[in-house]
DNA sequence: CGATTGTCAATTGTCGACAATCGACAAATT
DNA sequence: AATTTGTCGATTGTCGACAATTGACAATCG
């Protein structure tokens, strides 16, 4: 996340990590649907690798909560229940609130500037109507919030939560109302941080997150996509 | 954690999980010191198994933050810096506060009763002077707090944090002051929950945790045990 | 002598093959 | 016919061997 961007560097990650990236992206993007079984032999053949690194990647994914491994039974993409989503967003709210409080405590104008710049980009994208870009920047915004908190363990925890949030957002049928409104919603939070008004910032971020979380959870069909067999 | 305790059940976990338990216990108990390298061949030979399940167990541990895997370089027990400890306890405080708020929101007397019972046992152990037992029950108390919050994702997050807390407690030279005082400290928290006094309970739990965290962090020698090579 | 380059041992990464386990279905027994 | 028992195919779990990569040290060159 804080790559020094040293130019001239070829990727030589172990196979398991590249496999991990591919599978994670497939799940988080919704390409692999919740409940879908992941048969090791098939995937290994499909990727043209052996099962060893694949298995290690699957272990990783199970720790990230994206898949469920049942010994001797197999691996499936973890089903997403409504309760899961509620838990996801409630914990997310807690983590972001914590990050926000730390940022305010640091009281560094540079931080606010970064957040504000992120906001500007989001607004610009919204005004052009680029929904996908808005969502990406929105994600960047919240990642940045965590990153600025300077808390490694929080960041690590956030990363696993964030993945599943992405998955949820990829799977729901986007009820995207006013796109620019999405961007506008972030401004008060930034301002509250800038004024070091912790109670206000806390209230705003919690409303911001839980409102979107509730919206998604309410509309969630449990067990929505019976996989294409039946 | 919520085992139905069906009698008559032989353990048939995959090898990797048994290995995982063994290694985790070794690290968390302080038997494996931070920074200590974990050479796959050696450990596999020592356990009389092949490297495949061992590697999968090591992957697990790296996700739990107990070891650090560097590709092609090897695995070491993750060093514990003072910053790590501060982060650990601050996040712990956040998580427990969240759990506590949820418990209060549930408003079920049964929960308070369970906590109180846990407290009674701790007090009894303290009065007998059984430090080890007090620590175990203390851990149970905080696990129970999380468990009662009825939040699966929180519980999962807690478990990884909790492991490292155990590790820290195993590694420090116990400055155990008044043992009974440790037990007494928990009572006000329980009472605050019983009276649904959220602000008070929140304040108490945060003081409870951060005080012990600060105490440990202050006394922490960074890079303490140069392994016996020099 | 300092810096660069080549070589090597140690360790991890990957593979293919074999063993163990599970659920489901068939067969047998009452 | 219902229940138990046996068998089977599919899939995961484990193993041992081989390939790839790293850092350290030695050899070479200026």
Provide the pLDDT for residue A64. 93
- Cβ pair A179, A38 in contact under 8 A: no
Chain B nearest-CA distance from A63, in A, is 7
Is the residue at B33 inside a domain?
yes
User: Are residues B92 and B38 both part of a single domain?
Assistant: no
State the CATH number of the domain containing residue A36. Answer: 1.10.10.10
Give the pLDDT confidence of A129-167 residue by residue, as tens digits.
Answer: 888 899 999 999 999 999 999 999 999 999 999 999 999
First to last CA, chain B: 43
**Residue B178 CB burial class (10 angstroms; 0-12, 13-18, ≥19):** exposed
Chain A nearest-CA distance from B82, in A, is 13
Helices (H), A29-65: 40-47, 51-63
Q: Mutate which of A10, A19, A40, A59 to disrupt the B interface (most B C-beta within 10 Å)?
A: A59
pLDDT reading at B77 higher than 80: yes
Give the pLDDT confidence of B18-33 residue by residue, as tens digits.
Answer: 999 999 999 999 999 9
User: Are residues B54 and B133 both part of a single domain?
Assistant: no
Is the residue at A28 inside a domain?
yes
Q: Mutate which of A94, A159, A168 to disrupt the B interface (most B C-beta within 10 Å)?
A: A94
B165 interaction partners in chain A (CB closer than 8 Å) = none
User: Are residues B166 and B124 both part of a single domain?
Assistant: yes
Provide the pLDDT for residue A173. 66
User: Are residues B51 and B88 both part of a single domain?
Assistant: no
Q: Which residues on adjacent β-strands are paired with residue A38?
A: A75
User: Are residues A152 and A44 both part of a single domain?
Assistant: no
Is the residue at B226 inside a domain?
no
Taking the C-alpha atoms of residue A120 and residue B91, their distance in angstroms, rounded to an integer, is 31
Give the residue from B46, B27, B13 showing the smallest Cα distance to B164.
B27
- Asked if the C-beta of A72 comes within 8 angstroms of chain B's C-beta atoms, the answer is yes
- Cβ pair B168, B213 in contact under 8 A: no
Phi and psi dihedrals of A169, rounded to 5?
-65, -30
Residues 155-184 of A with CB under 8 A from B: 156-157, 161
Q: Looking at the C1' of nucleotide C15, which residue has the nearest alpha carbon? A: A50
- Cβ pair B160, A153 in contact under 8 A: no
User: Are residues A73 and A165 both part of a single domain?
Assistant: no
The answer to whether the CB atoms of B152 and A84 lie below 8 A apart is: yes
Taking the C-alpha atoms of residue A12 and residue A16, their distance in angstroms, rounded to an integer, is 11
- Cβ pair A66, A167 in contact under 8 A: yes
Residue that terminates a domain, selected from B77, B110, B125: B77
Give the pLDDT confidence of B187-230 residue by residue, as tens digits.
Answer: 999 999 999 999 999 999 999 998 887 777 777 776 554 443 33
Provide the pLDDT for residue A229. 37
First to last CA, chain A: 42
Structure tokens that stand for A53 in this block: 């690194």
State the CATH number of the domain containing residue B154. Answer: 1.20.120.530
- Going from the C-alpha of B100 to that of each of A75, B46, B150, B157, B175, the distances in angstroms are 34, 43, 11, 15, 27
Taking the C-alpha atoms of residue A98 and residue B90, their distance in angstroms, rounded to an integer, is 9
SS3 content of chain B, % helix, strand, coil (to 5): 65, 5, 30
> Confidence class of residue B3 from pLDDT cuts 50, 70 and 90?
very low
Three-point CA angle A145, A146, A148, nearest 5°: 70
User: Are residues B70 and B124 both part of a single domain?
Assistant: no
- CB of B41 within 7 Å of some strand C atom: yes
Is the residue at A122 inside a domain?
yes
Q: What is the mean pLDDT of residues B116-132?
A: 92
User: Are residues B154 and B209 both part of a single domain?
Assistant: yes
The answer to whether the CB atoms of B161 and A154 lie below 8 A apart is: no
A60 interaction partners in chain B (CB closer than 8 Å) = 59, 63
Domain range for A33? 15-77
Is the residue at B114 inside a domain?
yes
Taking the C-alpha atoms of residue B51 and residue B40, their distance in angstroms, rounded to an integer, is 6
Domain count, chain B: 2
Per-residue pLDDT of chain A (230 residues; tens, 9 = 90+): 444 444 556 667 899 999 999 999 999 999 999 999 999 999 999 999 999 999 999 999 999 999 999 999 999 999 999 999 999 999 999 999 999 999 999 999 999 999 999 999 999 999 998 888 999 999 999 999 999 999 999 999 999 999 999 999 988 866 666 788 888 999 999 999 999 999 999 999 999 998 887 777 777 776 554 443 33
Taking the C-alpha atoms of residue B69 and residue B71, their distance in angstroms, rounded to an integer, is 6
Is the residue at A47 inside a domain?
yes
Is the residue at A90 inside a domain?
yes
- Cβ pair B201, B102 in contact under 8 A: no
User: Are residues A72 and A90 both part of a single domain?
Assistant: no
Is the residue at A57 inside a domain?
yes
- Asked if the C-beta of A65 comes within 8 angstroms of chain B's C-beta atoms, the answer is yes
Distant-in-sequence contacts of B78-83, Cβ < 8 A, 24+ apart: B78/B34, B79/B34, B79/B35, B79/B223, B80/B34, B80/B164, B80/B167, B80/B168, B80/B171, B80/B220, B81/B222, B82/B217, B82/B220, B82/B222, B83/A152
- Going from the C-alpha of B187 to that of each of A183, B169, B182, B208, B209, the distances in angstroms are 46, 22, 10, 11, 14
- CB of A14 within 7 Å of some strand C atom: yes
User: Are residues B66 and B99 both part of a single domain?
Assistant: no
């Amino acid at each position: 996340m804080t790559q020094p961007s040293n130019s001239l560097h070829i990727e030589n990650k172990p196979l398991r990590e590249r496999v991990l990236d591919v599978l994670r992206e497939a799940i988080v993007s919704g390409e692999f649907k919740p409940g879908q079984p992941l048969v090791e032999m098939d995937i290994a053949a499909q990727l043209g690798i052996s099962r060893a690194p694949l298995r290690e990647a699957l272990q990783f994914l199970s720790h990230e909560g994206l898949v469920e491994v049942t010994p001797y039974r197999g691996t499936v993409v973890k089903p997403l229940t409504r309760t899961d989503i509620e838990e996801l967003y409630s914990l997310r709210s807690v983590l972001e609130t914590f990050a926000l409080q730390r940022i305010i405590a640091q009281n560094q104008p540079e931080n606010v500037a970064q957040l504000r710049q992120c906001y500007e980009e989001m607004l610009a994208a919204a005004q052009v109507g680029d929904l996908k870009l808005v969502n990406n920047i929105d994600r960047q915004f919240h990642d940045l919030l965590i990153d600025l908190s300077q808390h490694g363990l929080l960041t690590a925890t956030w990363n696993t939560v964030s993945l599943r949030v992405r998955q949820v957002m990829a799977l729901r049928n986007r009820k995207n109302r006013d796109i620019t409104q999405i961007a506008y919603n972030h401004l008060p939070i930034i301002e509250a941080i800038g004024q070091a008004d912790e109670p206000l910032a806390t209230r705003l971020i919690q409303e911001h997150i839980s409102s979107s979380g509730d919206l998604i959870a309410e509309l969630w069909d449990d067990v929505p996509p019976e996989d294409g067999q039946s």
